[in-house]
Amino acid sequence: MIKRTWFLFSTVLLFAQIITAQEKATISIDAAKTGARIAPTLHGIFFEEISHAGEGGIYAELIQNRGFEENRLPAGTSLVDGFIVPERTPHFSMPNNGVSDWKMEWPVKSQWPAWSMNATGKSVVNLSLTKADPLNSATPQSLQIDIQQADPNGKADVANEGFWGINAISGDEYYFNFYARSDERYMGNITVSLQSSNGNVLATYKFEKTNSKIWKKYSCTLKPVKTDPKAKFVLSFDNTGTVWIDFVSLFPAKTFKDRPNGLRNDLAQYIADLKPAFIRWPGGCFVEGINIQSAPDWRNTIGPVEKRPGTYSPWGYWTSDGFGYDEYLQFCEDIHSSALYVFNAGVSCDFRSGTFIKDEDLRPYIQNALDAIEYAIGPADSKWGKIRVTNGHPKPYPLKYVEVGNEQQGPRYASRYNRFYTAIKDKFPGIQIMASMGIGDVNKYTLDSMRRVDYADEHAYKSAFWSMNNYDHFDKYKRGNYEMYVGEYATNNGVGSGNMIAALSDAVYIFGMERNSDLIKMSSYAPLLVNTNDVDWPVNLINFDASKSFARISYYAIKMLNDNRADVNLSTAATVTHPAVKQPKFGGGIGLSTWDTKTEYKDIEVIQNGNVVYKSDFINQPGDWQLLRGKWNVTSDSSLAQTAEGAQQFALLKNKTFDTYTLKLKGRKIDGYNAFIIPFAVKDSNTFLRAHIGSWVNQNSVFESVTNGYDVADITGQKKLPAKIEKGKWYDIRVEVGIDTVKCYLDDTLLMSYSEPAKVFAISGKDERNGDIILKVVNATSTPVEAGIEISNLYNIASNGELITLSASSPGAENSYETPKKTVPLSEKIDGISSKFKRIFPPYSLSILRIKQH
Ligand code: AHR
């Protein structure tokens, strides 16, 4: 039996996973001992224009490239061999005014993306883009349609495919608008229709005798008679002549809260259901832009939609900015969230062009931020407040926070932050100002150079179980004269597309934030939305296509934790008891592997209890090994050499598994980037752990987990190697695999050690509205955990309470389009609660228990 006790304001139950036996735990809550208060602002959301989150996403517009502008190159870039290349100016994080060679593939393959022409029979139609006589300067191009012959028995059509299809729903209304002008020859009609992919007309309207030399707006309502999630939109012409069209828009009448130019209902509802305290917008890297010239400017996103020029997202597509500053602020108001607006600080993205505009050129950027704030909250007679009123919103919007740039850091950024801070506080003392901290932890380096910080914004993208391995991450933070905002967090490595382990890891991460709520006041998961037809980021909270949507399990974990956020932490202690006999954690096969490296291995031995139970003999028994990926050959000195380029090369010792053992071998790097990879705990060729010596281009060592063959996650931090692995030199490698700890040695020096992380966690707090004690427990083990729960200093405990459980039968379980509700929380009333009672928490579960008083 092992006993451990923690006296934080919470309880951490740390112990190795036991495969066969049931864990037992005691959780003791002292209801009279309160800890830090938990901010009502703890859970917000972060919206970024990534993966078509807005355009072709939550913004309900159904026509892609409605303004015919999407073949335009972003400002300040040129097209070179299929790539867009920003002007080569000094990159702020490169030494000696170095210039980045960053470029991005230009995905546009047509002059009029998403549009196509269909002329059948004897019809002859030519399409071209023209800049002549534009509708307005924000939409300088229009589509010129020359109908040279219009066959009454054929078609002269121009179609739009929407965003990977248009979701036409039978009986629903769709508002259609477009602008057209024509030459004197075109005396015909323009018929618009929604059509299914096989050409069946679902809804249609004929604009008769449309001849107008000047731009004219046409509008109608379409009502499909059948549902088709992959419909297309078609304009049909029936006369010869030339017609120019621009700003073609099709909008569902039903939008979230029935707002015109509004949001897609299902997606907005997912967000509203999360009850976010705030919405951060519009990014992310989006704010920074690929270069300074093409970074977003809120002023281009307000007013009539056809006068918004659009922004090129660094994620590789245009947004029409239909979900602009007003629509964002309106959404905040509609769902009772505060707004957190992020603006460009005169810096473009570090991972892209990396421009840092000169300090003397900063003034317009400061003014731009002040104007944005004035637009949102300024009085109706202020310059920008007046424009807000003109745009239909007399009352101020709920803007409460702004952030100076995204993921910038260091003293240079800090001094820039200081300038923004002073200017904003002078004019708007009530606005809270966030400082970005780069990717990763809050760094002293940045913070110490800032005169005053309201909130420091840490971004945290982590691997499976990281939060469990690093449960004390925030406990260790030095408290100071600032609050913390975790502006982007997610467990997104080694978790499939967002599985149960991701959700449990995210839940434990949130436990860590709640426990440290004296410091952490706000957080938001990232990214929020993904159109699964164009995925820019591996794991996202809410997935959708043109007609369907579903939320990852993490969504439900966050929702549960926000719905059941306590007001104040309670002191809790825990005792965990393990079954007497522990099961080995790292049982399985062994292998040899490389990554972008040519390497030889020899003299492999597996030793158990002092006996050599396996010894390699590649010359006489090459068949012992299964050569799964890569190019392996046996050398004259009986080594196995891997000589192919590329990642994840893998050889597996056949038909042998070991539980606890020492693996000894020699390795020699021949060429390439890294050095040695030794798989162990191999379940199959796609699922194993491995010791990676010479990771990060031969600089580090790390234990990694591999799932799905190619999904690699660090399970320990990267540790610097004492020295790079030399080419041509034989090294002694030793991997000691214990019951729940594995150690890796190089030439008898311990490089790294890994112990099975904590898998059971609990915190508790008090809901002051009704006196409920809220107990939250994560059991990330594969077995049920029986907990004895003891509550002191709480009287009149009701025997019945409420239990909400989110659990899955396997760690890899995921929600999907096919089974969107496979893993969602289930609520039940339970009995038998007293000051001392027992409860079994299921495997792979997050449970929230509300203990009530009568
Ligand atoms: O959330 C995706 C990206 O991750 C954001 O754009 C950026 O801020 C972060 O690095």
Interval 364-402: pLDDT, tens = 999 999 999 999 999 999 999 999 999 999 999 999 999
pLDDT band at 712 (very low <50, low <70, confident <90, very high): confident
Tell me which residue has its CA closest to atom 9 in ligand 1. 284
522's tokens: 């706000």
User: Which residue among 340, 342, 488 has the greatest number of ligand 1 atoms within 8 angstroms of its CB, and so is best to mutate?
Assistant: 488
Residue 460 reports pLDDT greater than 50: yes
Confidence bin at 12 (pLDDT 50/70/90): very low
Say what the pLDDT of residue 758 is.
66
SS3 430: coil
Q: Please tell me the least confidently modeled range out of 270-279, 422-431, 470-479.
A: 470-479
Atom of ligand 1 nearest to the CA of 406: 8
Q: What is the mean pLDDT of residues 112-140?
A: 98
Give 3-state DSSP helix, strand, coil % of the chain, rounded to 5: 15, 40, 45
Distance CA 392, CA 390 (A): 5
User: What is d(CA 344, CA 360) in angstroms, rounded to the nearest whole number?
Assistant: 16
One-letter-per-residue 3-state SS of 133-172 = CCCCCCCCCEEEEEEEECCCCCCEEEEECECCEEEECCCC
pLDDT category, 93, cuts 50, 70, 90?
confident
Residues 823 and 815: beta-carbon distance below 8 Å:
yes
Q: Which residue has the higher pLDDT, 826 or 707?
A: 826
Of 407, 457, 485, 525, the one to substitute when testing ligand 1's pocket (max ligand atoms within 8 A of C-beta) is: 407
Report whether 759 contacts 780 (CB < 8 A). yes
Q: Which of 657, 660, 656 is nearest to 737 (CA)?
A: 660
Q: Is the CB of 526 under 6 A from ligand 1?
A: yes
**Three-state SS at 369:** helix
pLDDT score of 7 more than 70: no
CA distance 758 to 12: 8
> Taken in order 152, 156, 161, 166, is the CA torsion positive or negative?
negative
Q: Kindly state if the Cβ of 351 falls inside 6 Å of ligand 1.
A: no
Model pLDDT, residue 22: 66
The residue among 478 and 774 whose pLDDT is bigger is 774
**pLDDT score, position 578:** 64
Q: Which residue's C-alpha comes closest to atom 4 of ligand 1? A: 284
The whole-model pTM stands at: 0.88
- Ligand 1 mutation target, pool 48, 315, 343, 541, most atoms within 8 A of CB: 48
The stretch 571-599 carries a mean pLDDT of 83
Rg (CA), the chain: 30
242 lines ligand 1 (CB under 6 A): no
pLDDT score of 14 more than 50: no
SS3 for 63?
A: coil
599 CB burial (10 A radius; 0-12, 13-18, 19+): buried
- Residue nearest atom 5 in ligand 1 by C-alpha distance: 284
pLDDT band with cut points at 50, 70 and 90 for residue 438: confident
Predicted confidence band of residue 444 (pLDDT cuts 50, 70, 90): confident
Q: What is the pLDDT of residue 648?
A: 80
> What are the angstrom distances between the C-alpha of 276 and each of 334, 401, 435, 665?
12, 14, 21, 54
Return the pLDDT at 1. Answer: 27
Q: Summarize pLDDT for 586-634 with one digit per residue, the tens.
A: 999 999 999 989 999 999 999 999 999 999 999 999 899 999 999 999 9
How confident is the model at residue 13, as a pLDDT?
A: 36
CA dist., res. 338 & res. 461, Å (int): 24
For residue 3, pLDDT beyond 80: no
pLDDT band at 687 (very low <50, low <70, confident <90, very high): confident
For residue 235, name the pLDDT band (cuts at 50, 70, 90).
very high
Q: Is 558 in contact with 506 (CB distance < 8 Å)?
A: yes
284 in ligand 1 pocket by Cβ < 6 Å? yes
Joined together, the tokens standing for residue 791 give 């509550």
Whether ligand 1 lies within 6 angstroms of the CB of 228 is answered as no
Among 159, 296, 298, 170, residue whose Cα is nearest residue 237: 159
- C-beta atoms surrounding 761 within 10 Å: 26
CA of 334 to the centre of ligand 1 (A): 26
Q: Is the pLDDT of residue 274 over 90?
A: yes
pLDDT at 544 (0 to 100): 98
Q: What is the pLDDT of residue 21?
A: 46
CB of 156 within 6 A of ligand 1: the answer is: no
User: Ligand 1 centre and the CA of 460: distance in Å?
Assistant: 10
pLDDT score, position 718: 83
Task: For ligand 1, say whether the CB of 535 is within 6 Å of any of its atoms.
Answer: no
Give the mean model confidence (pLDDT) for residues 508-528.
Answer: 97
* 750 within 8 A of 736, measured Cβ to Cβ: no
Strands of 306-359, DSSP E: 311-313, 317-319, 338-343
Which of 343, 409, 459 is the best mutation target for the ligand 1 pocket, counting ligand atoms within 8 Å of the beta carbon and taking the most?
A: 459
The 10 Å CB-count burial string (b at 16+, else e) for 333-371 is: bebebbbbbbbbbbbbbbebbbbbbeeeebeebbeebbb
Q: How far is CA 204 from the centre of its chain?
A: 39
> What's the whole-number mean pLDDT along residues 212-219?
96
Whole-number pLDDT of residue 8: 34
- Distance from residue 489's CA to the centre of ligand 1 (Å): 9
672, HSE (Cβ side, Cα atoms, 13 Å): 22
**Residues 756 and 738 sit within 8 Å (Cβ to Cβ):** no
Higher-confidence residue: 708 or 214?
Answer: 214
Contacts of 14 (CB under 8 A, 6+ apart): 4, 471, 576, 757, 758, 760
Q: Is the CB of 537 under 6 A from ligand 1?
A: yes
Ligand 1, atom 6, residue with closest C-alpha? 284
Q: What element of type H or E holds 635?
A: none
Helix residue ranges per DSSP H, 170-279: 265-273
Closest-lying ligand 1 atom to the alpha carbon of residue 286: 6
Question: Strand pairing partners for 456?
Answer: 435, 484
Of 461-475, 666-680, 732-746, which range is least confident? Answer: 461-475
Q: Are 661 and 632 in contact (CB under 8 A)?
A: no
Maximum distance among all alpha carbons in the chain? Answer: 96
How far apart are the CA of 437 and the centre of ligand 1, in A?
Answer: 13
pLDDT for 199 beyond 60: yes
The more confident residue out of 197 and 588 is 588
Task: Give yes or no for residue 653 CB within 6 A of ligand 1.
Answer: no
User: Residues 789-816: pLDDT tens digits?
Assistant: 999 999 999 999 999 999 999 999 999 9
Distance 285 CA to ligand 1 centre (A): 6
Identify whether the C-beta of residue 570 lies closer than 8 Å to the C-beta of residue 84. Answer: no
The confidence band for 575, taking pLDDT boundaries of 50, 70 and 90, is low
Instruction: Give yes or no for residue 735 having a pLDDT over 60.
Output: yes
Residue 459 Cα to ligand 1 midpoint, Å, equals: 8
Which pLDDT value is given to residue 209? 84
Please give the C-alpha separations between residue 36 and each of 204, 469, 692, in angstroms, as whole numbers: 61, 23, 41
Instruction: In the chain, count H helices and then E strands.
Output: 11, 53
Q: Please tell me if the CB atom of residue 408 comes closer than 6 angstroms to any atom of ligand 1.
A: no
pLDDT at residue 11 tops 60? no
DSSP secondary structure, 252-309, as one string: ES--GGG-TT-B-HHHHHHHHHT--SEEEES-SHHHH-SSTTTS--GGGGSS-GGG--
| 54: DSSP letter | I
Atom of ligand 1 nearest to the CA of 48: 6
Residue 20's pLDDT is 42
CA 844 vs CA 223, 500, 503, 778, 807: distances in Å: 46, 7, 10, 8, 6
pLDDT at 95: 84
For ligand 1, atom 7, the nearest C-alpha belongs to 284
Q: Which residues lie below 8 Å from residue 599, measured CB to CB, with a gap of 6+?
A: 641, 642, 667, 668, 669, 670, 672, 675, 676
Establish whether residue 532 lines the binding site of ligand 1, counting it when its CB lies within 6 angstroms of any ligand atom: no
Mean pLDDT of all residues belonging to the chain: 93
Q: Using CB atoms within 10 A of its CB, is residue 750 exposed (0-12), middle (13-18) or buried (19+)? A: exposed
Return the best residue to mutate from 342, 406, 436 for the ligand 1 pocket (most ligand atoms within 8 A of CB): 406
What is the C-alpha to C-alpha distance for residues 326 and 375, in angstroms, rounded to an integer? Answer: 9
Q: Evaluate whether 129 touches 143 at the Cβ level (below 8 Å).
A: yes
CA-closest candidate to residue 823, choices 831, 832, 814: 814
